[in-house]
């Protein structure tokens, strides 16, 4: 199993550009989520999904969209990038709510 994979590993954007961060898992996990990690802030939940076709907002959803058309994939879209979105982004999955969460390697995003 590859576990949770994220692409790209690094990305630099200009203010106003859009992009999609990819997340995939091959463990047939129903629960997937996106977090951002800022210095001194710990990780904060952006969006999550409890299964294909079902998504919901977390603590910091503004400026981000998600969809879940398959069990395996959970992409995160930045609609119009802003410098405040400079962060490290982590995708995670688990077989159930409350189960061990497996994290991807992260994407370091810089918005100029």
Partner 1 sequence: AQTVTQSQPEMSVQEAETVTLSCTYDTSESNYYLFWYKQPPSRQMILVIRQEAYKQQNATENRFSVNFQKAAKSFSLKISDSQLGDTAMYFCAFMKHNMYSGGGADGLTFGKGTHLIIQP
Helix intervals (H) in the chain? none
Q: Write the DSSP symbol of residue 53.
A: T
Interacting span for partner 1 (CB under 8 A) from 17-25, 61-69, 78-86, 87-95: 87-95
* Of the residues 85, 106, 109, 111, which one makes contact with partner 1 according to CB under 8 A: 106
CA 88 vs. chain centroid, Å, equals: 10
Euclidean distance between CA atoms 100 and 52, whole angstroms: 19
* Of the residues 21, 29, 36, 48, which one makes contact with partner 1 according to CB under 8 A: 48
Under rule CB under 8 A, residue 10 binds partner 1: no
Question: Which is it for the CA torsion 26, 103, 108, 85, positive or negative?
Answer: positive
Under rule CB under 8 A, residue 43 binds partner 1: yes
Residue of 38, 48, 41 whose CA lies nearest to 93: 48
Under rule CB under 8 A, residue 105 binds partner 1: yes
Q: Tell me the sheet residues that pair with 31.
A: 94
Rounded to a whole number of angstroms, the minimum distance from the CB of residue 79 to partner 1 is: 21
* Of the residues 66, 92, 109, 111, which one makes contact with partner 1 according to CB under 8 A: 92
Q: Which residues bind partner 1 (CB under 8 A)?
A: 31, 33, 35, 40-45, 48, 50, 56, 58-59, 88, 90, 92, 97-98, 100-103, 105-106
């Amino acid at each position: 199993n590859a576990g949770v994979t994220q692409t790209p590993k690094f990305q630099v954007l200009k203010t106003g550009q859009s992009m999609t961060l990819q997340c995939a898992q091959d463990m047939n996990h129903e629960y997937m989520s996106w977090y951002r990690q800022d210095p001194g802030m710990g990780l904060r939940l952006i969006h999550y999904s409890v299964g294909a076709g079902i998504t919901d907002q977390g603590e910091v959803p503004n400026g981000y969209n998600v969809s879940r058309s398959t069990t395996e994939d959970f992409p995160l879209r930045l609609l119009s990038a802003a410098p405040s979105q400079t962060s490290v982004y982590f995708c995670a999955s688990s077989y159930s709510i409350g189960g061990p969460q497996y994290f991807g390697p992260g994407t370091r995003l810089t918005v100029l």
